[in-house]
Structure 1
Amino acid sequence: MENTFFLLIILIAVVAAVIMHHHLNRVPLPIIFIVVGILLALLPLYHHYIFNPNLFLFFIVAPLLYNEAQSASRYWIGRGAINIFSLSIMLVIATVIIVGSALHLLFPFLPLALAIALCAIVTPTDASAVSAFAQPNPNFQVPFTIMQNESLFNDASGFVAFDLSLLAFTTGSFSANRAVGVFALEFIGGLITGAIIGALFLSIRRELIQAGDDTPFVMITLELLVPFLAYFVAERLTLSGILAVVAAGLFQGMENDSLQLVSSRVQLVRSNIWGIVQEALTGVVFVLLGVSLPTIMEQIISKHPGLLGLLILIGIVLYVLKFAIRLLWSRFLVWMHISSNHRWQDAWLMAVSGASGTISLSLAFLLPTINGRDLTTDRNALIFVVTVVILISLTVAAIAVPIITKMPTGTQTKPMSQWTREMIMTAMNKVRSSKDAQAETHIVVDALSQQLHQNNRPHRREQRRLFELTDAAEREVINRKHDQGDFSDDETYYYLRFLDLTKFTFNNTVWQNLWLRVRFGVHSSRLSRDLKFGEEMFFTTPLIAEQFYWQRQFHAHGEDIRPLEEVGYQAVMHALKQERHQHGEVTTVELHDVQRFYRERHRRMNMPDPVPQVVYQLFLTAFHAEYEFVQNALDKGTIDVETAESLQQHIIFDEMAYIQNNAAFIKQ
C-alpha cells in the first residue's frame, strides 16, 4: 500500500509540474520536474529515497526509447545513415576519449576510467526535450531531423561505452581489442535480437488485422509488451537491451507506415496512449531525481564538506569540453542533406541542442556504489556532477535555441492560435448563413464559439457586472411594458420572480444548484401532481429545470411566458451590444459566457425543439467549411503543410467528439 501511495504522489507531482510549465513555459520542463521533486523530498515518505536503477531502466527507459524509435522516420534514418554513424558512434567515441582524458589531466584525482564513464553518461542527447524550445522555422528542419535520429542510437552507444569504462575501473585493466569486440557484439547483437522480436510481433499483429481481430485492447496490449520483452531477452543474452528496444521500435514504425488507412482506430488510440506514457515516464524520471537530490547532496556534504563547488566546476568543464567537440563535429563532419547558407548557425544549433536528459539521468543512477576514499570516486558525487551537466545543458538550450531558430523580422507567420481562430470563425459564419433552422443554428454556433474561449479563464467580478447590467436592462423593459399595459400584473410578478432565480442558476455554485434542484422538484410535483415528474426535475440541471418550471407555472394561470422572454432577450442583447461598443476593455470570454447563457435560455423557451438530423447536417457544414478554409490557405500558399496538418487534426478531433457525444448537444 505504501509503494502504491508513493507512486500516486509521484504521478500527481508530474501533473502539477506540467500545469506549472504551461504558465512558466520559458523554464525547461525537466527543471520544473526536478524542483517539484525536491519539494516532495520534504515529505517524510520521501526522505532519503534512492530508487532501484535496474528496475528504473527496465520499466521507464525501455518504453521511452521504444516510443521514440517507432515515431522516427525510416526515410530519414535511411538517408541519414552516414550522419547517424558519425554522430551516434564516432562522436560518442571521440567525446568519451578526448573529454575523458582532458578531465583526468585537469583533475588528476579523478581516475581515467571514471572520467570516461562520466563522459559516456552525458553523451546521449535528449532531442525531444530540446525541440520544445524551438520556434517553427523551416530553415532548421534538417538539423532537428538529424538530431532526432542521432538520439535514438547514441543512447545505446553511451550505454556500451559506460559499461566498458566501468569494467575497466572495477578490474583495473583495459584491452582495446577486447573493448572493440564487446562494443561490436553488444551493438550488433542487440540490434539483431530486437529486430527478431520486432519482426515476430509485427507478423502476429498483421495476422490479427487480416483476421479482423485488431481491436484496440488486443493490439495495444501486445505492443506494450514488446519493449519489455526485447530488453529482457537481450540483457539475458548479455547484449545491448537498449539497442534491442530501438530495433523493435523501428520495426513497429515500419508497420505504422504500411498500415496507412488500415486499423485507423487502433493507430489513433496507440498514438494517444504512447503520448501519455512518454510524458508521464519522462516526468517520473526527473521528479525522482529531484526527490533523490537532497539525499545525494546531504551525503556528499557529510563525507566531503565544502567540496560541492569542486563538483560544480567539474560539471561545467565537462559540459564546455563536450560542447566544443560537438560544435566542431557538427560544422565539419555532418552532412546536411541539402545545401545551407548558414552552416555555422546549423552547427551552433546542433551543439546547444545536444542537451543531456532522461537517458543520461538513467545512466547516472546505474553507477554502482564505489567505496573510494576521495570525493570523485563517490557514487553520489558522480551523480551530482551529471545533474550539473543536465541542468546547464537544458538551461543553455532553453535560452539559445529560441534565439537561433527565430524567424527573421518580416517573415514571421501567424501563430497557430490565430489560424485556429480564423478557421472556427469561418465555420460559424457559414452556419449562421442558414436561416431556416434557428434553434439548431444556435446549438452549433454556441458549440463552435466555446472553442474560441476554452483557454481563457473568465474574470468572475467582470462576469457578475455584465450579468447585473443585463438583469437591470431586462427588468427595466419588463416594468416599462407593464406600465404601458402590454403585460398584466400576474405576468410581470411571476416573470420578475423568474429573474430572481435566474441569478442563482447563472452563478450555479454547488449549494445553490442543490437548493434549486430541490425547489424545482418539489414545486413541479405539486404543480403537476406527479411525483415522477418532480423526480425528473430534481435530476435535471437547474438551468433547464427552471425554464420548464416557469413555462408550466405561466400555463397553469392561462398565460404565456414566451412574449415576456422575447422582450427581455432583445433588451439584454441590445445592452451587451452597447457595452461592447462603449467599453472596449470588456474581455471576450466574459461577454461570450453571458451571451451564451441568454441565447440558450431564449432557444429553449421560444424556439421549437431541435431536430437531431438538422443539427448533424449543420455540424457537417461547419466541418466542411473548416476543411475548405485549410484547403484555400494551402492553395494560396499562406500556410505551411505542418500548420495545415495541425488544423486538420483539430477538425478530426472535433468530429470525433461530436460523433461520440452528439446526444449531449440536443439535451443541453
Structure 2
Amino acid sequence: MASFFTILLLVVAAIAANIVFAIYPKVPLAFYEIIAGVLLSLVPLFNNFHLEPEVFMLVIIAPLMFNDGQNTDMHRLRKNINSTLSLAVVLALVTILAGGVLTHVLWGTLPLALCFALAAIVTPTDAVAVTSITSGIEVPEHVMGALENESLFNDASGIVAMDLALTAFSTGEFSLAKGTEHFLVVFLGGIAVGAILGLIIVIIRVLFQRKTLDTIAVILPFSLLTPFIVYLTAEHFGFSGILAVVAAGIIHGIQGKQLRLTSTQTQVVTKTTWETATNLLNGFVFVLLGASIPSVLNDLSTTEIHNLPLLILTAACLYLLMAVMRFLWCMLNLISLPSKETRFKDSIIMALSGVHGTITLSMAFSLPLVVAGHAFPFRSAIILIAGIIILLSMIVPTFTLPFLLPNKRVPYSADEFSDQLVKMVNFAIDQLRRSNDHSGALPGVIEVLNSQKNQSQKNANSKLVHQLLQQTENVEQATVTEMIDNGEVEAPFGWQYSRAIIFQSQFAFLSPWAKFKMWFKMFGFRFFPKISRKHFNKSFQQTRQVKMKWLKDHGQAEKFNDYQKFYLEHKDDRLPQTEKEKTDQPKQLALPVTKAKLLPAVQVTEQLQLPGSLQPRGHRPSRRPRGQQRGMSPEAKKAFSRLSQAGYDRVNGYLDAIETDDNRQEVDVIRHYYNVRRSRMTHSEATSEAENELFLMAFQFEYSYVQNISQDKDLSSELIDELHKKISMDQMVYMQSGN
C-alpha cells in the first residue's frame, strides 16, 4: 500500500507542476517539478526519502531511453555518427579524467578513485532536460541534433567509468588494459544485445500483424514491456542495459515503415500512450530530485557540513570545467559543424547546453551504502555535489541562452487555429444544410460537429442564451397549441407536456445555488408533504393575486377571461388544499401555459410542477415530455412522442432560420440543450444510416475548406497541417466509435 501511495503522490506532484507551468510558462517546467518534489518531502511518506537506483534505472530510465531511441532521426544519426561518438565516448572519457584530477586537487581528502567516480557521475548529459530548458528559444537544428545523439550514448560511458572507479576503490587495484577491455565489452555488448532483441521483437510484431493479431490489447502491452525485457536481459549478461534499450529503440525506428502497417487505431493509441508515459516519467525524475534534497542534507555528516563551502566550490569548478571542455572540443573542430562563421557561437551554445539530469541523479543514488563491511565514505557529499551540478546546469542556460538565441518562432497562434477551426466546422454545417434532405438526422450531426470547435459554453453570452431559450419556448408552446387546436393531441396531454418542458428548461439554466434550492424544495415535498404543500399553496395564491392585479391594471380583459376559463377547466391541476384552506381562501384562477409570458418573473413559480416521484400523493404531473413516466397510458405516451418530435423539429427549424455568424455560439448552446433533452429517444436504423452519410459528407466539406484556405499565403503550412490532422483524427474517432 505504501508503494501505491508513493506513486500516487508522484503523479499528483507532476500534474500540479504541469498546471502551474500552463499558467505561468516563463519558468521551465523542470524547476516547477523540483519545487513540487521539495514540497512533497514534507509529506510523512517521503520523510528521509531515498531513491532506489535499480528501480529508478529499470522503471524510469529504461522506458525513457527506449522512447528516445525509437524517435531518433536515423538519417541524422548515421550522417553525424563520428561527431556523436566523439562527444559521447571520447569527450566523456577525457572529461572524466580531467574532472577526477581537478576534484582531487580541490578536495584532497577524497580518495582518487572516488574523485574519478564523482567525475563519471556528473559527465552524462540529458537531452530531455535540454528540451525543457530551451522550450521557448530557437536552438540551431544541428546543435540540438548533436545534443540529442550525444545523450543517447554518453550515459553508458559514465556508468562504465563509474563502475571501474568503484571497483578500484573497493579492491585497491586498477588495470588500464582490463578497464579498457571491460569498457568495450559492456559498451559494444549492450548495443549488440539491444539490436538483436529489438530485431526479434520487430519480427514478432510484424508476425502479429500478418496473423491479424495487431490489436491494441496485444500490441500496446507488448510495446510497453519491450524496454524492460531488453534492459533486464542485457544487465543479466553483464552488458549495458541503457545502451541495449537505446539500440532496441533505434531498431524500432528503422523498422518504422513495417510497423506503420498496423491498424490506425493501434498506432494512435500506442503513440499517445508512449507520449503520456514519457511525459509523466520525465516529471518523476525532477520531482524525485526535489524530494531527495532534504534527505541528502540530513544525511551529511558533521565533517561534511563543515566542508559545505568546499563541496559547493567543487561542484561549481566541475561544472565550469565541463563547459570549458565542451567549448574547446567544438572550437578544435573535433565535431563537425556546418559553418565556420558560426563556429564560435555554436561552441558557446554547446558548452552551455550540457544539461545534466536523469542519469546523473540515478548514478549518484546508485552508490553503495556499504563497502567491505563499512559504511561507504563521502556518499552523501558526492550526491550533494551531483545535485548542485544538476541545478547549475539548468539555471545557467535558462538565464544565458535567451541572450544568445532568438525566441522560438511560433508558426501560428492558438487563437488563429481556433478561429480557423470554427470557420471550418461552420462551413461544413452550412454546406450540409444546403445539400441534404435528412432533416431528422441533421440536428444530431450538427450537435456532434459543433463539439469539434472545442469552445466552452462559458464564452457564450448568457443574456442572449436566455433570450433564445425564451424564443424557442414560445415556438414549442405555439406548436403544442397548434396541435391541440388541430385535434392531433388531447388538451390535457398538451398542457401537461407544456408544464414539463417549462420546468426542464428553467431548471437546466438555473445557477448552481438556484438548482440546490430547487432540489431542496423537492426534498421537502417528498418527505414533508403537508408542510411543503401549505407553504407552496400560500406562495401559489400570492402569485395568482399579483397576476390578477396586473391583468386588471393593464386592461387585459381577454386574457383575464382566458385565465378564468382555463382555471375552471383545469382547477384540479393545482396542489390539493386542506379543508380549511378550501373554505377560507377565495377561488383563484390559473393562467393558461400558452399565455404565461405576461409576467416572466412570477411565471416559473406558478407553472413549476414537480417530478412525479417527488409529488405529494394525488398529484402526479409529468416532468419528462417523452412519455417515459411510470403508469402513463399508451395514449399519453403516444401523444408525448408526437409533441416531442414536432416541437424538436420546429425548434431546430427556427434555430436554423435565425442563426448568424454573430450568434452561432449561443445557438449552439440552445441546440445542445434540445439535443440532450431528446438524447434518450431511440433512433431508427434509417436515421443512423442517414447520420453516417452526413458525417462522411461533413468531413469531406472540412477537407475542401482546408484545401481552399491553403492557397492563402498569410496562413502557415503548419496551421494547414494541424487542421488536416484534426480532421483525420476526428474522422478516425467517429469511424472507430460509431461503427
Partner of 2:130: 130
Cα gap change, 1:156 to 1:143, in 2 (>3 Å): same
Aligned mate of 2:417, from 395, 415, 419: 419
The offset of 1:293, in angstroms, is: 1.9
What are the equivalent positions in structure 2 for 1:284-433 lying under 5 Å apart? Answer: 284-300=284-300, 304-305=304-305, 307-333=307-333, 338-339=338-339, 342-369=342-369, 377-401=377-401, 404-406=404-406, 413-415=411-413, 418-419=416-417, 421-433=419-431
Say whether 1:217 aligns with 2:213. no
Over 3 Å counting, the alpha-carbon distance change for 1:380 and 1:561 in structure 2 is same
CA 1:632 to 1:128, structure 2 compared with 1: closer, same or farther past 3 Å? farther
Distance 1:467 1:431, change over 3 A: closer
Displacement of 1:188: 0.9
Deviations 1:377-432 (A, max 9, x none): 52122212212222222233444555555359xx8642355235314422422331
Cα distance between partner residues in 2 of 1:193 and 1:333: 33
Q: Which residue number in structure 2 is paired with residue 620 of structure 1?
A: 696
In structure 2, do the counterparts of structure 1 residues 428 and 444 end up closer, same or farther at CA, with 3 Å as the change threshold? farther
Q: How many residues align?
A: 627
Q: Partner letter of residue 508 of structure 2?
A: T
**Contact 1:473/1:572 (<8 A) preserved:** no
Residue-by-residue CA offset, 1:9-50 (whole Å, 9 max, x unaligned): 322332333333222322222322222222222222221121
Q: What is the aligned partner in structure 2 of residue 35 from structure 1?
A: 35
Q: Specify the code of the residue in structure 2 equivalent to 1:599.
A: R
Alignment RMSD (CA, Å): 4.8
Q: State the shift of 1:278 in Å.
A: 1.5
Provide structure 2 residue ranges, at least 5 long, that are not aligned to the other structure: 479-484, 486-490, 527-609
Q: 1:605 to 1:95 in 2, by over 3 A?
A: closer
Separation (CA, whole Å) in 2 of partners of 1:477 and 1:555: 12
Q: Quote the Cα distance in structure 2 between the aligned partners of 1:457 and 1:451.
A: 13
Report what 1:649 is aligned to: 725
What aligned pairs does 1:506-521 form with structure 2 within 5 A after superposition?
506-507=509-510, 509=512, 519-520=610-611
- The counterpart of 2:628, out of the listed 529, 533, 546, is 533
> Would the aligned equivalents of 1:190 and 1:244 in 2 still touch at CA under 8 Å?
yes
| Rounded Cα–Cα distance in structure 2 between residues aligned with 1:427 and 1:13 | 38
Write the distance in 2 (CA, Å) between the matches of 1:348 and 1:451: 45
CA–CA separation in structure 2 for the residues paired with 1:145 and 1:632: 36
Does the CA contact (< 8 Å) of 2:440 and 2:649 recur in 1? no
1:90 corresponds in structure 2 to 90
Query: In structure 2, how many angstroms separate the alpha carbons of the residues matched to 1:473 and 1:602?
Result: 13
Q: Name stretches of at least 5 consecutive residues in structure 1 with no aligned partner.
A: 481-486, 538-547, 581-590, 664-668
How far does residue 92 in structure 1 lie from its aligned partner after superposition?
0.9
- Aligned residues of 1:26 and 1:398 also touching (Cα < 8 A): no
Give the alignment's TM-score, normalised by structure 2.
Answer: 0.71
Distance (Å, rounded) in 1 between the aligned partners of 2:180 and 2:390: 28
- Corresponding residue number in structure 1 for 2:735: 659
Contact 2:330 / 2:347 at 8 angstroms: preserved in 1?
yes
Partner of 1:502: 505
Distance verdict in 2 for CA 1:136–1:167, change over 3 Å: same
TM-score relative to the length of structure 1: 0.78
Q: What residue in structure 2 maps to residue 6 of structure 1?
A: 6
1:526 positional shift? 5.5
Query: Alpha-carbon deviations, 1:251-307, whole Å to 9, x = none?
Result: 222222333334444333321222222222222232223222212112227664455
Q: Distance in 1 between matches of 2:623 and 2:510?
A: 28
- The residue type equivalent to 1:533 in the other structure is Q
Residue 160 of structure 1 corresponds to which residue in structure 2? 160
Contact 1:100 1:118 in 2 (8 A): yes
2:642 and 2:442 map into 1 onto residues whose CA distance is 27
Matched ranges for 1:444-523 at <5 A: 444-454=445-455, 458=458, 498-499=501-502, 501-507=504-510, 509=512, 519-520=610-611, 522=613
Name the SS of the counterpart of 1:367 in structure 2: coil
| 2: CA distance, partners of 1:529 / 1:289 | 57
d(CA) in 2 for partners of 1:174, 1:157: 17
- Answer whether contact 1:432 1:441 (CA < 8 A) is retained: no
CA distance in 2, matches of 1:640, 1:343: 31
Matching residue within 669, 674, 684 for 1:597: 669
Instruction: Tell me: CA distance 1:417–1:359, structure 2 relative to 1, closer, same or farther (3 Å).
Output: farther
Q: Deviations over 1:161-207 (max 9, x none)?
A: 22222223333443332322221111111111222222222332232
Question: Taking structure 1 as reference, are residues 475 and 562 closer, same or farther at Cα in structure 2, changes over 3 Å only?
Answer: closer
Distance 1:619 1:339, change over 3 A: farther
Deviations 1:491-546 (A, max 9, x none): 99996985565242124758668999995464898559999922699xxxxxxxxx
Distance 2:398 2:722 in 1: 24
3-state secondary structure, aligned to 1:51: coil
Q: Shift of residue 357 of structure 1?
A: 1.5
| Residue correspondence of structure 1 range 245-260 to structure 2 within 5 A | 245-260=245-260
* Cα distance, 1:604–1:318 mapped onto 2, change above 3 Å: closer
- Shift in alpha-carbon separation, 1:114–1:439, aligned structure 2, 3 A: farther
- Distance in 2, matches of 1:531 and 1:446, equals 20
Give the 5 Å matches for 1:71-150. Answer: 71-134=71-134, 140-150=140-150
CA contact (8 A) 1:301 1:308 kept: no
Larger radius of gyration: 2
